[in-house]
Chain A
Amino acid sequence: MLVLLVVLSLLLLTAYFGESPSGRLHGVQRAFLTVVSPIQNGANKALKPVRDTIGWFGDTLNAKGQRDKLKRENNALRKQLVAEQGEKTSLRQLQALYHLDQLGAGEYHPVTATVVGKSPNIWYSTVTIDAGSNAGVHVDDPVVNGEGLVGKVAQVASDGAYVDLITDSSMGVSARLGKSTATGIVQPKVGEPGDLLLQYLPSTTQPNRGEFVVTSGTVASPDDSLYPPGLLIGQVTSVNEETGFKSVNVRPAVNLQNLDIVQVLTSSAGSRAAGIASLAEQLPAGKGDAGTEAGAEQYASAGGGG
């Protein structure tokens, strides 16, 4: 019996690992999600009081420390806001000039969803949400909440979807440092769910502790970033010196341990990738660097099977 079950597991593992995300076993997972998502939604609602009660104790303990920290952040952000008002005006003019506004967050239609399940596994950072293809959700749609970027949609069923969080080992997001134009790839560090790594920054970059890291949303080639530009990913906590490149450790802005309501940024009509591709053809040439970074993001995301 043991041998039979082990062989069966190995067969499943081999077949699943070898097939594409549109393969038969992935299809079984999607079908399973379609079947269980109504049950999961019901169970989530029934168990919410239990979760809230337990969560209340933890929240109360953390509240005091968070209040002091937020006061300090609020003061710093107020100063920053004043300084950036002028830059915002210039940015609007530049976006209009290059038609970049067509790819901003306004291009996306947010679909609000509730998180109904979360993986306990330290190797997989995924959550299940209660919105699927019926609500217009597609694979690879970005997922955000009020704090910043949460992740992207990995699989979709009719009334539910799996979301890979930014800390999932399959993720890679093209990002830039807030105060500079230096871009790199944000990847998770397996084993450290509260820490991300912004890699491949040019060696000339001078990152500062506390600096914001946002999605770069590069728009120069057909295989572009999945994420609109300017979504907050996190803040720099430390800088690592490496040969050739620099990398920085980033603390995610979103509290991924406590997700409840999220928004899926769905595209308006048809495939967003196709929309980006057609628009990219209209853009002037000479943005090869950005295209390389976006390609690296695609590579990093696709590499893990996501």
Chain B
Amino acid sequence: MSSGGSASLPLRLAAMLVLVTFVQVGVISEIPVFGVNADLSPLLVAFVGLLCGSTVGATYGFATGLLVDLLLLQTLGLSSLIFTLVGYFCGRVRELRDPQAALTPLLVGAAAVAASLVGYSLMEFMLGVDAPVSLELLRQIVLVTLVDAIIAVPLWLLVRAWLESALPDDPRRRRRRRRAYTTGGLSPLSRS
């Protein structure tokens, strides 16, 4: 791990946040798929948590929520609260389980999107809704989760490729090291 790599992580995270948010607002939100729009923000927060851990995940979630709320005239603090929790729990998944399965980003991404949409709806109900709410909302939540699940894996590959060199402790590198020791590879100590 290089110190330059760690220092560049906040910059890379910030650049990714701004880029993805503008692409979301300017392009993705205007392309309906199955009648709904994909939402990259919860996926992004989940993947940052999954790659960087709970503290970075929660902080990134807060920043993402704040930017989204400011940019889209939404109730300030609402997205921050939800994305903070999403980032934190995805980070905890990495810290406690460190899952390596190929389907991990898909499952974690879908869970994060579903949790954020349900959390958002609950918060809106708590704050009071003036308009009638249709049961179709449930169908919308399921559809957005499915659409986000479809794009989860490609987005995960992009996010990981963008952050990999700046990560202080890359799970893939750690796994490779572990495999090398267990399959007869020499440890740095025995080599010296």
Please give the residue numbers on chain A whose beta carbons come within 8 Å of chain B beta carbons, in ascending order.
Answer: 1-2, 5-6, 8-17, 25, 28-29, 32-33, 36, 39-40, 43-44, 47, 50-51, 54-55, 58, 115-124, 126, 128, 154-155, 162, 169-172, 187-195, 197, 257-259, 300, 303-304
Q: Return chain A residues, CB-CB under 8 Å to B80.
A: 5, 8-9, 12
Taking the closest CB of chain A, its distance from the CB of B144, in whole angstroms, is: 7
Q: A155 vs B69: C-alpha distance in the bound complex, in angstroms?
A: 14
Q: Return chain B residues, CB-CB under 8 Å to A191.
A: 133-140
What does the 1/0 interface line of B18-32 toward A look like (CB < 8 Å)? Answer: 000011111111111
Q: Do the beta carbons of B23 and A32 come within 8 Å of each other?
A: no
**Count of inter-chain pairs, beta carbons less than 8 A:** 178
Asked, given contacts A122-B141, A124-B74, whether A6 binds B84 with beta carbons under 8 Å apart, the answer is yes
Q: A188 vs B28: C-alpha distance in the bound complex, in angstroms?
A: 23
Q: Return chain A residues, CB-CB under 8 Å to B41.
A: 120
Q: Do the beta carbons of A190 and B77 come within 8 Å of each other?
A: no
Q: Return chain A residues, CB-CB under 8 Å to B31.
A: 51, 54-55, 58
Q: A188 vs B137: C-alpha distance in the bound complex, in angstroms?
A: 12
A-B contacts, 22 listed (Cβ < 8 Å): A5-B61, A5-B62, A6-B81, A9-B78, A9-B80, A29-B69, A29-B70, A29-B73, A43-B26, A116-B26, A118-B29, A119-B73, A122-B140, A123-B121, A162-B72, A169-B131, A170-B130, A188-B131, A190-B133, A197-B132, A258-B30, A304-B130
Q: Which residue of A lies closest to B32 (CB)?
A: A257
B4 close to chain A: CB less than 8 A: no
Q: What secondary structure prevails in chain B residues at the interface with A?
A: helix
Q: Return chain A residues, CB-CB under 8 Å to B78.
A: 9, 13
Taking the closest CB of chain A, its distance from the CB of B146, in whole angstroms, is: 14
B58 close to chain A: CB less than 8 A: yes
Partner of B131, one of A17, A39, A189: A189
Q: Do the beta carbons of B27 and A11 come within 8 Å of each other?
A: no
Asked, given contacts A1-B55, A169-B129, whether A120 binds B28 with beta carbons under 8 Å apart, the answer is yes
Q: Return chain B residues, CB-CB under 8 Å to A40.
A: 22, 25-26
Taking the closest CB of chain B, its distance from the CB of A12, in whole angstroms, is: 3
Partner of A122, one of B25, B71, B135, B144: B144
Partner of A257, one of B30, B75, B76, B133: B30
Partner of A8, one of B39, B62, B132, B141: B62
**Interface-centre pick from B73, B136, B137, B140 (highest chain A CB count, 10 A):** B73
Q: Return chain A residues, CB-CB under 8 Å to B134.
A: 189-192, 195
